[in-house]
Amino acid sequence: MTILVTETLRRTPLHALHVALGAKMVPFAGYEMPVQYPAGILTEHLHTRARAGLFDVSHMGQAFLSGSDPAAQLERVTCADISGIGEGMQRYGLLLSDRGTIKDDFMTTRLAGEEALYLVVNASMKESDFAHIAARLEGGAVLEPQPERALLALQGPAAETVLARHAPGAGKLTFMQAARMSIAGKPAIVSRTGYTGEDGFEISVAAKDAVAVAEALLAEPEVMPIGLGARDSLRLEAGLCLYGHDIDETTDPVEAALVWSIGKRRRAEMNFPGADRITAALSGGAARKRVGLLPDGKAPAREGAEIADKTGRIIGRVTSGGFGPSLGAPVAMGYVETAFAGVGTSVDLMVRGKPLAAKVAPMPFVPHNYRR
């Protein structure tokens, strides 16, 4: 007798709204999530670049880190300069293993007038991340996950105009700033950031308020609901890493081209996990490097495709790839031996056993439009 075991998927507070809007729901990071709506991925992608898209990212992990000097506590697990974050500011960081490889990437916010730090980590890693951080805290520091909060992302050039109708203070924020404010009468944590390369905001609200806030924003003529499909193509065009694909525990910050996330003070003090390994890579160079890739023609190279030099020798692997709707052409990123990482280097991407000509290209593929 065959016994079928099916995964029990979690649902975000906006699940019923997604279904009502005609979303195609798929499993993702243990959740049932919208991959697209009736308009389709291409339309959703281009609409976000032109106007504004609303994303449900409530599957992400949110937490507060409180206690004695939470910044110093968090620096025990990251190479980012957390103590240097100013009030009302947000910072990108890498959560490191003891070997100096990347367990996850995350955002940290120091809200004005508050001692606790606000953290957002990736959905697929949140339980592991929170356990890793909590196990390394000392001196009464406490990590408090916030499973009863939802997270929305409003992205695109019209995002500020739209959000200002419901939260007049939002327009005062610049890129990587954050503040508490009300949206449609609901208390929220709003940060001017996102995962599309466009100007935009991430909005954390109580789960019970998520539908009201989402419906208020979707009622605006500039806004369209956007699913995971367009979120992925938008972030790929923007040259942004997806954890578990472009970065993971086999990669370190140097080979992942994320050296800019290592704080200058932290580099000098060398008191973060795996500092010896990372410092050695900084001084001696990494054996491989994450690069952008532009294939010739219209055929995309997907994740897992091998990368070869012009003699046919395998020199790397594609970690993300697909069609870039804004470019009207395929794009990809992956790792190659450092000798082949220079912009303009000709390589072949092995697609269905055949070489597809490509060139190493600078990222982002589409210019970032952050409001600085």
CB of 57 closer than 8 Å to CB of 124: no
Question: For residue 279, what pLDDT is reported?
Answer: 93
Are residue 44 and residue 186 in the same domain, yes or no? Answer: yes
Per the listing, tokens 């649902």 go with: 11
Is residue 163 located within the same domain as residue 225?
A: yes
Domain membership flag for residue 291:
yes
Domain CATH for 50 = 3.30.1360.120
Q: For residue 205, what are the domain limits?
A: 15-56+148-237
Considering the domain architecture, whether residues 183 and 298 belong to the same structural domain is answered as: no
Same domain, 169 and 311: no
Residues 193, 316 share a domain:
no
Residues 52 and 152 in one domain: yes
Residues 197 and 301 in one domain: no
| Shared domain check, 177 and 30 | yes
Q: Which CATH number is 341's domain given? A: 2.40.30.110
For residue 207, report the phi and psi dihedrals to the nearest 5 degrees.
-55, -35
**Among the three residues 202, 237, 272, which one is the final residue of a domain in this structure?**
237
Q: Residue 279: name the closest of 269, 294, 289, 293 by CA.
A: 269
Among 179, 207, 237, which residue terminates a domain? 237
Structural domain contains residue 321 = yes
Q: Would residue 78 count as lying in a domain?
A: no
pTM of the predicted structure, to 2 decimals: 0.96
Rounded to 5 degrees, φ, ψ at 206 are -60, 145
Could you tell me if residue 213 is inside a domain?
yes
pLDDT at site 140 = 84
Using an 8 Å Cβ cutoff, are 364 and 196 in contact?
no
Domain count, the chain: 2
Q: Is 134 a member of any domain?
A: no
What is the per-residue pLDDT for 6? 52
**Is 261 inside any structural domain?**
no
> What pLDDT is recorded for position 4?
45
List Cβ neighbours of 313 (8 Å cut-off, separation of 6 or more): none
Q: Answer yes or no: do 230 and 291 share one domain.
A: no
Report the pLDDT value the prediction gives residue 365, as an integer from 0 to 100: 98
pLDDT at 323 (0 to 100): 97
- CA distances for 214 relative to 53, 57, 73, 146, 333, angstroms: 11, 12, 35, 19, 33
What is the chain's length?
372
Q: For residue 340, tell me if it sits in a domain.
A: yes
The pLDDT tens digits for 239-248 are 999 999 999 9
The phi, psi pair for 351, rounded to 5°, reads: -115, 115
Name the 3-class secondary structure at 103.
strand
Instruction: Tell me which of 199, 217, 237 is where a domain ends.
Output: 237
Residue 173 lies in a domain: yes
Q: Give the chain's residues under pLDDT 50.
A: 1-5
Q: Give residue 285's pLDDT.
A: 85
Same domain? For 294 and 230 the reply is no
